[in-house]
């Protein structure tokens, strides 16, 4: 699923559709969790290689001493522990797409081997002598600024030029809040299928609540929050507010300072009684917390009051918790 209303994402989607029809190397740039793998899979599924393998390799998760063996394979006995011949990821992806996630984490030595395979379309397994032809479409991704890495000597310039044929920048989720509603519904449906629960969809109020968050973990974090909300709601509702507790806004004491002198025209002549104002405030907190009083997601914590004290006030003010939704 790819959605998008803002200009940055629409441009990225147009670029994705264009490059998917070709066999060119694509480089996806974006923050961690912004959906780079989703885009890589979309490219593969809309390419002529759709009926062949799509293999994802997290370059940052492979120990430096194993990277050659994992990418290019090895022959039996080529090193201690090599009890049999092994095909690497390039051979396994032949005819399909190899997604090199976090390519910026590769060591310089591994970059040299990778560049040779990309340029010549052949590889030699560790411990082997025979050159093996590989036909692989490369989609790479990174959260790093590779141009800066080149300047700092951490990434080879020739490899940078080789993979930077068609760069695609993915905006972060905080740059595309218009997509939060569609993404939340999409993840709610996925959670329902995965967990075997009745489908519960987000309310308009919950979408507005989600839009107040900065989303440092991007799309991946939203997916986690929605799945947690589905588990907590058990198919009856999405417990968004329990899954994502927003930090309380800090007070701007300068802006909120009380003036020393008021005039009658500056003060409203319509007042709630103190008990009416307190009842309204507690009721709003209970609605926000779905009627929960105690615990990390309860109204008592939100109002910074002892739970037993809050229960007493609820009873004294005649607040009917059964009507709270």
**For the segment 297-320, what is each residue's pLDDT rounded down to a tens digit?**
788 888 888 888 888 888 888 888
**Is the model's pLDDT at 231 over the cut of 60?**
yes
pLDDT mean over 48-77: 89
Contacts of 93 (CB under 8 A, 6+ apart): 52, 53, 54, 55, 134, 136
pLDDT mean over 257-275: 54
The yes/no answer on whether domain 176-243 falls in CATH 1.10.8.60 is: yes
CA 135 to the chain's CA centroid = 31
pLDDT mean over 60-72: 87
DSSP state of 142: E
Give residue 262's pLDDT band: very low, low, confident or very high (50, 70, 90).
very low
Instruction: Supply the Cα-derived Rg of the chain in whole angstroms.
Output: 27
Fold of 7-171: Rossmann fold (3.40.50)
- Between the two ends of the chain, the Cα-to-Cα distance in Å is 32
Phi, then psi, of 137 in degrees rounded to 5 = -95, 125
Instruction: Say what the pTM is.
Output: 0.67
Q: For residues 293 and 301, what is the distance between their CA atoms, to the nearest angstrom?
A: 8
Give residue 167's pLDDT band: very low, low, confident or very high (50, 70, 90).
very high
Contact 109, 91 (CB under 8 A): no
Q: Which residue, chain included where needed, has tokens 């760069």?
A: 167
Give residue 283's pLDDT band: very low, low, confident or very high (50, 70, 90).
confident
User: Strand 26-29 relative to strand 137-142: parallel, antiparallel, unpaired?
Assistant: parallel
pLDDT mean over 222-226: 94
**Is the model's pLDDT at 80 over the cut of 80?**
no
């Amino acid at each position: 699923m790819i959605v998008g209303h803002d200009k940055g994402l629409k441009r990225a989607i147009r670029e994705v559709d264009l490059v998917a029809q070709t066999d060119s190397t694509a480089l996806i740039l974006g923050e961690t969790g912004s959906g780079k793998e989703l885009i890589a899979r979309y490219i593969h599924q809309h390419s002529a290689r759709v009926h062949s393998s799509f293999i994802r390799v997290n370059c940052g998760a492979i120990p430096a001493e194993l990277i050659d063996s994992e990418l290019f394979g090895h022959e039996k006995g080529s090193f201690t522990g090599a009890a049999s011949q092994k095909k690497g990821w390039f051979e396994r992806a032949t005819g399909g797409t190899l997604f090199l996630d976090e390519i910026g984490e590769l060591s310089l030595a591994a970059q040299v081997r990778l560049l040779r395979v990309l340029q010549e379309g052949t590889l030699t397994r560790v411990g082997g002598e025979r050159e093996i032809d590989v036909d692989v479409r490369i989609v790479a991704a990174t959260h790093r600024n590779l141009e800066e890495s080149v300047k700092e000597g951490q990434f080879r310039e020739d490899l940078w030029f080789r993979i930077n044929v068609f760069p695609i920048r993915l905006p972060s989720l905080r740059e595309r809040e218009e997509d939060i509603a569609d993404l939340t519904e999409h993840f709610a449906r996925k959670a329902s299928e995965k967990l075997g629960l009745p489908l519960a969809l987000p309310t308009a109020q919950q979408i507005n609540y989600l839009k107040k968050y900065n989303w440092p973990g991007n799309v991946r974090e939203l997916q986690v929050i929605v799945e947690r909300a589905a588990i907590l709601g058990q198919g009856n509702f999405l417990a968004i507010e329990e899954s994502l507790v927003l930090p309380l806004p800090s007070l701007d004491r300068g802006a909120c300072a009380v003036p020393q002198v008021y005039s009658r025209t500056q003060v409203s002549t319509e007042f709630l009684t103190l008990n009416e104002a307190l009842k309204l405030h507690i009721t709003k907190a209970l609605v926000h917390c779905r009627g929960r009083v105690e615990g990390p997601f309860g109204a008592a914590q939100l109002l910074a009051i002892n739970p037993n004290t809050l229960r007493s006030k609820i009873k004294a003010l005649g607040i009917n918790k059964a009507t709270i939704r």
